[in-house]
Structure 1
């Protein structure tokens, strides 16, 4: 039996909701990245990219896996999914993956800042 972290408390529904919300976020940012690099692409392909890195992130957090290893695994899986789904060269796949990382960081920071700002409002 594997012992989870002491701080990882939540119902299965809350964990599934977290994975789902993060997968949706990563799918949206994957579509933004692919559309900016490749032009007009299908939205449904991006929805296949997001769930795997989201699952890696939640599993790594739950089992206390090193963050750098989890990020590296998520980026490798993300690049593999982008390369498989969009069928481009390795160089173009690496470029789309890099843009996906950048868009995810920027949009994530923006959303976090907005939520923090709204949460700290008086009244």
Structure 2
């Protein structure tokens, strides 16, 4: 099993996880996805959330926030949390984790903690 597959599987063990993807935000393509929800097309989510990441990067540039990095971006829906976490390792620049959670079952703080740990062990 590749390191990426292991990372996706580990992310899916987070309580309330609906789906997870590793996404290249230069192309908007999902490098890998895992999830079993019929309501959530992870490839569409990957492409759409690429726009979110790019917009935030542009905004930070316009604000001259050169010493800052995005830790994560949270989108809160009535029934779901969507967590976007750009990877920071040199070998994984330009890639982000996308994690969709069932808001009623998930512990957001724990999910953020676990996804940070998964990122530390991921090599792409």
Q: Give TM-score scaled by structure 1 length.
A: 0.37
Q: Give 1 or 2: higher helix fraction.
A: 1
Higher RCO structure, 1 or 2 (CA under 8 Å, sep 6+): 2
Q: Give TM-score scaled by structure 2 length.
A: 0.37
Bigger radius of gyration among the two: 1
Q: Give 1 or 2: higher strand fraction.
A: 2
